Structure 1
Amino acid sequence: MSVSSANNSSDWIDVSLTIHTGMAHWPDNPGIKIEPSLCLAHGDVCNVSKLTLGSHTGTHVDGLNHFIKGGLGIDKMPLDATIGKARVIGIEDTESIKVAEIAPHNLQAGDRVLFKTVNSERCYQQDDFVEDFVYISTEAAEYLAERQVRTVGVDYLSVGGYQGNVVEVHHALLGSGIWVIEGLNLSAIAPGEYELICLPIKIQDGDAGLARAILKPL
């Protein structure tokens, strides 16, 4: 699986996934297909591609309305939710992100936090969906909501576990107004403080927006 661009410059590091045909996606979401609509090689005047994919493909930001009725769509997301200082926290647990590993970092209201797990090294090496990825435990999601963090990012396709606590974790985070970035590739990132830029495409009332995410060490 192609994971990120090599177009890193001025210390910015691309931590977004490269969208490509056949890439991993949540099992009940649309598959990804990129095909030519117009093609120079076929005698057309330009290249134009047709994209078939779901709104939660690759690196993306969830709208609050993804799980919360009446929640803000992705077009209403405050820009500073995903632009500014962010903390990358390394997680050693290979099952889930738990309060015991988060609490020592003394997260504060308004923090943007990105969790780096074994997912970044393990899950992006194939186009098959990985079911046993490291996810946020329900208790940890509730803890993050209590701490009133601003933004939470994870390094696979969902904050909640497959056939596990997907609903509970999304409700805890999105229901508290926390913006969620999913599908980050943090394999080249060491834990620490960074400048984050991650802007989702602007879809009216969108439940998510595909995004390009980059980090710069502070």
Structure 2
Amino acid sequence: MSTYFDQWIDISVTLCDGMVHWPGDPPVRIERVQDLAKGDSHTLSQLTMGSHSGTHVDAPAHFLKGAAAVDELDPGVLLGPARVVEIDDMESIKPEELVRHRLRKGERILFKTHNSALWKERTEFNKDFVYITVEAASYLAERDISAVGVDYLSVGGYHKDGGEVHRTLLGAGIWIIEGLDLSGVSAGRYQLACLPLKIGGGDGAPARAVLRRLPGRK
């Protein structure tokens, strides 16, 4: 569930041992190698995971040869006003539904779908999550959206459109945030702060993403 602080809403999923991950990717493993509770002088953990675990940012290098890596991200791309758009379609995000939201050039768009409820199932990957279709990805690219966020582990589908959707968005200069938990957030306008770990040459990296409601904006 999304976590509320004083003014900020944490829309990141908590990284934890054995959490749900993309099939074939390295699982998340968090092991205590030193522990105060066991008499050690300090507590220390070893983390093992894929670069696209939990809430994370996809760099263009994830699908485009020679493209920008995650450490080359201009932080301003994922810092600033963003709009949460609620999607009713249980299967996919299609251009027909996007038209009525009147997306504007340069917007940061976070899609809230039925996927956010899936985070309650922490260990089992759901292959039938709501995804962005290739046609919708092209629609977003044509409108020069600056960043897109989704509430499961891929912008493209598991059964179809996976790689092509990534290439369409990243090729248009749209940075991608995946693995958001928007279950506690209503549609509207917010301030977004999302920064991935600065991994040299990284194709992607885990990130902490938070929102703050913009006063007087819906």
Correspondence list, 1:40-59, <5 A: 40-59=36-55
Q: Who is 1:38 aligned against?
A: 34
Deviation at 1:164, TM superposition (A): 1.1
Of 102, 124, 128 in structure 2, the residue corresponding to residue 132 of structure 1 is: 128
| Mapped pair 1:89 → 2:99 | no
Aligned residue identity for 1:21:
D
Provide the C-alpha distance between the structure 1 equivalents of 2:107 and 2:154, rounded to a whole number of angstroms.
20
| Mapped pair 1:68 → 2:64 | yes
Q: What value does the CA root-mean-square deviation take over the aligned residues?
A: 1.0
Match of 2:208, SS state, is: strand
Q: Who is 1:16 aligned against?
A: 12
Number of corresponding residues: 213
Deviation at 1:10, TM superposition (A): 2.7
Query: TM-score, normalising length from structure 1?
Result: 0.95
Deviation at 1:209, TM superposition (A): 1.1
Aligned residue identity for 2:10:
D
Q: Who is 2:209 aligned against?
A: 213
Provide the C-alpha distance between the structure 2 equivalents of 1:163 and 1:203, rounded to a whole number of angstroms.
30
| Runs (5+) with no aligned partner, structure 2 | none
Q: Percent identity?
A: 52
Aligned residue identity for 2:39:
G
Match of 1:214, SS state, is: strand
Deviation at 1:68, TM superposition (A): 0.6
Provide the C-alpha distance between the structure 1 equivalents of 2:45 and 2:206, rounded to a whole number of angstroms.
17
Aligned residue identity for 1:216:
R
Q: Who is 1:175 aligned against?
A: 171
Provide the C-alpha distance between the structure 1 equivalents of 2:52 and 2:150, rounded to a whole number of angstroms.
13
Q: Who is 1:191 aligned against?
A: 187
Provide the C-alpha distance between the structure 1 equivalents of 2:68 and 2:189, rounded to a whole number of angstroms.
28
Q: Which moved more, 1:33-42 or 1:163-172?
A: 33-42
